[in-house]
Amino acid sequence: MSAHRQWDYPLAEALRQEGRHGVPIVKAEGVNGAGRFVAGEGRHGDFKTTKEEKAQ
């Protein structure tokens, strides 16, 4: 969708728009992922998410 909205903008403005609308999403996903990693998910190849899955 962002590429469609930015089609007619000059490059500099298209990049500003991408940052303005994309950075908050990337930040939110990064914070969420970091929290899961701190909780133990993904360490040493372990992507099981619940205690029950980890017990198996």
* Three-state SS annotation for the chain: CHHHHCCCCCHHHHHHHHHHHHHHHHHHHHHHHHHHHHCCCCHHHCCCCCHHHHHC
pLDDT at residue 53 in the model? 60
In terms of phi and psi (left: phi > 0; alpha: psi -120 to 50; beta: otherwise), the region of 42 is left
Residue pair 5/17 in contact (Cβ under 8 Å)? The answer is yes
| pLDDT for 8 | 87
Tell me: pLDDT of 1 over 80.
Answer: no
pLDDT digits (tens, 9 = 90+) for 11-56: 999 889 888 888 898 899 999 888 888 888 877 777 766 555 666 6
Question: What pLDDT score does 51 carry?
Answer: 57
pLDDT of residue 45: 73
pLDDT at 21 (0 to 100) = 87
